[in-house]
Amino acid sequence: MKLAVFGATGRMGLTVVRLAAEQAIQLVGAIDAANSPHLGRDVGELAGTGTLGVAVGADVASGLLGADVVIDFSTAGAFDALLRAAAHAGVAVVSGTTRLASSSVALIDRSAAKIPVLWAPNMSVGVHVLAEAVRRAVQVLGDYDVELVEAHHNQKTDAPSGTATMLIEAAQRGRASLVPVHGREGDVGVRKPDELGVHAIRGGGIVGDHTVHLIGQFDRIEFTHRALSRELFAAGALRAARWLLGKSAGRYELAQVIAGD
Ligand SMILES: NC(=O)c1ccc[n+]([C@@H]2O[C@H](COP(=O)([O-])OP(=O)(O)OC[C@H]3O[C@@H](n4cnc5c(N)ncnc54)[C@H](OP(=O)(O)O)[C@@H]3O)[C@@H](O)[C@H]2O)c1
């Protein structure tokens, strides 16, 4: 597999570069923002793997040259340009970038007519198992109150996390009437049965924790996933990239990778 990384010098991008090197995957491109202070530097040196002979560049088309797959962990604002360039170059895309605009989601569908695309707001197998457990529990425990708490590092700029949104959607598949209520402040009145309270903690170096609480009159159940390292998401993205190799154009889901379809 010949791999390019977009958002290459970010927290996730460097983790993907490091893990790809450990897995002896050939890196052919490393793309970052035009104002990145790391342009021209060897991405392997930045990632701590030693020289890989791939300099960080800002030109997407040249960064994708020779790649089979590009892994993207960047920003919602950068996503469309990557997708257009990848569709033009015929390079498959694995993206974990969150908070995409609805126009970007529509662009995924259009690009999937030309290239294989897999976008997932959480690349960990464990979280997908959690989402299914949450869906089932909410469905069975129909009158329990549902609340979600997520925690991330103090550099995260968006809330709720993409994973929290994914878990909200899973709970709504279990009980369609659930309505997210983001944080509570002031005289908000008594909790309505169909509220799904969503709360965000930000601090220190937390990689990503998500807890879904199901609270009844006589007991409470808590489903918790804690990411211990960013390698969890990088490993999932690399697994998805390998799975996508040789696939025909289309939009794919991480659930298909997990199921080994
Ligand atoms: N799906 C998952 O499992 C998962 C897991 C973790 C994170 N994420 C998501 O992945 C994304 C990145 O997270 P992170 O923690 O790695 O963030 P980060 O450290 O801020 O990295 C983002 C990288 O993208 C670069 N970038 C910005 N504009 C760009 C452009 N126009 N072209 C190319 N690169 C550009 C940034 O460069 P500059 O710093 O120079 O601007 C930075 O290197 C976020 O959306 C996050 O929510 C998803």
Whole-number Å distance, alpha carbon 141 to ligand 1 midpoint, is 37
Which residues, other chains included, contact 185 with Cβ-Cβ below 8 Å and sequence gap of 6+? Answer: none
Which position has the token pair 């993206």? 95
Q: What's phi and psi for 6, nearest 5 deg?
A: -110, 130
pTM over 0.85: yes
Residue nearest to atom 28 of ligand 1 (CA): 33
Catalytic positions, please?
152, 156
CA–CA separation, 196 vs 251, rounded Å? 30
pLDDT at 164 over 90: yes
The mean of the pLDDT values for the chain is 96
pLDDT at 259 over 90: no
Q: Domains of the chain (ranges plus CATH)?
A: 2-119+230-259 (3.40.50.720), 125-227 (3.30.360.10)
Closest CA to 94 of 76, 115, 114, 78: 115
Whole-number Å distance, alpha carbon 172 to ligand 1 midpoint, is 28
Closest CA to 251 of 78, 9, 87: 87
Cβ(33)–Cβ(56) under 8 Å? no
Q: What's phi and psi for 62, nearest 5 deg?
A: -70, -30
Q: Give the pLDDT score at 189.
A: 97
pLDDT at 106 over 90: yes
Name the token pair of 92: 């498959």
Q: Give the pLDDT score at 261.
A: 67
Instruction: Band the pLDDT of 57: cuts 50, 70, 90.
Output: very high
Instruction: Band the pLDDT of 74: cuts 50, 70, 90.
Output: very high
Q: Atom of ligand 1 at shortest distance to CA of 156?
A: 15
Cβ(151)–Cβ(203) under 8 Å? yes
Q: What are the angstrom distances between the C-alpha of 164 and each of 54, 93, 98, 130? A: 35, 23, 11, 11
Percent of the chain with pLDDT over 70: 100
Residue 259, classed as helix, strand or coil, is helix
The β-bridge relationship of strands 116-119 and 250-252 is parallel
Closest CA to 224 of 155, 143, 167, 141: 167
Binding-site residues, ligand 1, Cβ < 6 A:
6-7, 9-13, 31-33, 36, 73-75, 78, 96-98, 120-123, 162, 233
Q: Atom of ligand 1 at shortest distance to CA of 8?
A: 43
pLDDT at 29 over 90: yes
The β-bridge relationship of strands 2-6 and 26-31 is parallel
pLDDT, average across residues 151-177: 96
pLDDT at 260 over 90: no
CA–CA separation, 206 vs 39, rounded Å? 28
pLDDT, average across residues 254-260: 89
Name the token pair of 54: 């791939």
CA–CA separation, 7 vs 229, rounded Å? 18
